Amino acid sequence: MKLSFSTKVFAMVLSAGLVAGCSSTGENMEDEAYGSDVQAIGGDDGSTVYGGDDGDGVSSGVLSDEERQAAREQAEQQALRDITTFYFDFDTSEIKQEARDVLVAHARYLADNPRQQVRLEGHADDRGTKEYNLALGERRANAIQRFLIVNGASRGQMETVSYGEEKPAVRGTSDSARAQNRRVELIFQ
């Protein structure tokens, strides 16, 4: 491939211009170069997290180890409480082992907040009669309710309802769709 002399010169000039445009000017960048409205936040050996209605933040630089641990545990409990749907195996109302820690977090939350109300909605997949699935959804919701009560929640905070197969989460007859429909949902009010 032969390039003409003018093409080579043009490519060299373009390259030189690119290099010159990207080079540093050698000026020293001071903090004042960013303007007076920019400053470090929480510069006392920790980070500061802002949030909440009052606009105050929490600085990790002033928290003790116990306070950090308590804040970490509280965040973990909140993350567990974000899970509000619990799935069941076919034709059973037995709570799965992996759901138990999450349900304990919900029970503690309800025990700590006695005015909080929750509706437990039981569901089933499309196999079986409508009457059987309504009863199965009710057994599932009642199993979750009993577990929450044993772990500190009050019966007066909860209402159970069964929709059986009437409100599927996913339409279809595949194993995956049916597995997603065998559930209890916690609806906090």
List the chain domain ranges.
Answer: 83-188
Q: Which tens digits make up the pLDDT trace of 80-93?
A: 889 999 999 999 99
Q: Which tokens sit at 31?
A: 């903090």
User: What pLDDT, on the 0 to 100 scale, is given for residue 36?
Assistant: 46
Tell the CATH topology of 83-188. 60s Ribosomal Protein L30; Chain: A; (3.30.1330)
CA–CA distance, 178 with 17 (Å, rounded to integer): 64
Burial of 119 (C-beta count, 10 Å sphere; 0-12/13-18/19+): middle
Question: Which H or E run includes 101?
Answer: helix 100-112
Report the sign of the C-alpha dihedral through residues 147, 153, 159, 165, in that order.
negative
pTM surpassing 0.75?
no
Q: Which tokens sit at 2?
A: 């032969």
* % of the chain beyond a pLDDT of 70: 68
Q: Which tens digits make up the pLDDT trace of 140-173?
A: 999 999 999 999 999 999 999 999 999 999 999 9
Burial of 85 (C-beta count, 10 Å sphere; 0-12/13-18/19+): middle
